[in-house]
Amino acid sequence: MYAYNAMNLPVLPEIGRIRRKLGLSQTQLARKSGVSQSLIARIESGKIDPGYSKVVALFSALKNVDKDETSVSEIMAHKVYGVSTSETMERAASKMKLYGISQMPVFEKGKIIGSISESTILSQIASGADARDLSKRKVTSFVEDPLPTVNPSTPLTAVSTLLDSHPAVIVMEKGKVRGIASKSDLLKMVHK
């Protein structure tokens, strides 16, 4: 898992690489390791040569996250329902109702270019848009920013942080969509 030096010890640049691979922020790693976020930033940038105890604490925290923490792949929905930019809003709303979802990615030529949500549709209606006219318009007129993407091994702590400000995350691996996780998927963990 780690790159090693001649003395068979993990090398410092591995800290940032592994942290990013696990989907952790420097702040999250700081909490888990007991090492300050500012020190982690200086270590990752190569501006400081830390003491042995700090390095041990960081690698131990990374190792424990990798082993113990539940990853997004364990809670994600494997089937991802989406809509293309050329489809109508009626079709998008129908898919959301049919599959019981409140947001989905928007695709163009097989690539995710944004997202559409139930709240976008409802806010259009609330602002006075004619529902019949709205239903005939193309999704492309209502595309929002894409949902954040994570890899399948991203820990749930990192995913939950993203879900504080986004309705869902897309799980991707090697450029391919593998799943989607929403706040309701996180809640399922509580019900186990």
Cα separation, 39 vs 56, whole angstroms: 14
Q: What is the pLDDT of residue 18?
A: 84
What token pair was written down for 164? 């504080």
28 and 46, same domain (yes or no) = yes
Cα dist from 101 to 47, 82, 145, 162, 181, whole Å:
47, 10, 18, 18, 11
Quick check: is 2 in a domain?
A: no
Cα separation, 91 vs 120, whole angstroms: 14
* SS3 assignment for the chain: CCCECCCCCECCHHHHHHHHHCCCCHHHHHHHHCCCHHHHHHHHHCCCCCCHHHHHHHHHHHHHHHHHCCEHHHCCECCCCCEECCCEHHHHHHHHHHHCCCEEEEEECCEEEEEEEHHHHHHHHHCCCCHHHHHHCEHHHHCECCCCEECCCCEHHHHHHHHCCCCEEEEEECCEEEEEEEHHHHHHHHHC
Quick check: is 3 in a domain?
A: no
Q: What is the pLDDT of residue 21?
A: 80
54 and 135, same domain (yes or no) = no
58 and 121, same domain (yes or no) = no
Looking at the chain, the whole-number percentage of residues with pLDDT higher than 90 is 44
For 188, what's the count of Cα atoms within 13 Å in the CB-facing half-sphere? 12
pLDDT in tens, 10-41: 678 888 888 888 777 888 888 888 889 999 99
Least confident of 2-6, 24-28, 85-89: 2-6
Written as one letter, the residue type at 152 is P
Q: What is the pLDDT of residue 127?
A: 92
Res 57 pLDDT > 90: no
Instruction: Provide the domain count of the chain.
Output: 2
CB 142 within 8 A of CB 153: no
Q: What is the pLDDT of residue 170?
A: 96
CATH code at position 116: 3.10.580.10
pLDDT in tens, 127-158: 998 989 999 999 999 999 999 999 988 888 88
User: What number of other Cβ atoms are within 10 A of residue 47's Cβ?
Assistant: 8
Higher-pLDDT residue of 48, 89: 89
Give me the chain's average pLDDT, please.
86
Which range of residues forms the domain containing residue 40? Answer: 13-68
Quick check: is 96 in a domain?
A: yes
CATH code at position 62: 1.10.260.40
59 and 114, same domain (yes or no) = no
Ranges 5-19, 50-64, 108-122, most confident: 108-122
Written as one letter, the residue type at 29 is L
Quick check: is 7 in a domain?
A: no
Q: What is the pLDDT of residue 161?
A: 86
56 and 126, same domain (yes or no) = no
34 and 91, same domain (yes or no) = no
110 and 182, same domain (yes or no) = yes
Quick check: is 6 in a domain?
A: no
Of the residues 33, 51, 68, which one is the last residue of a structural domain? 68
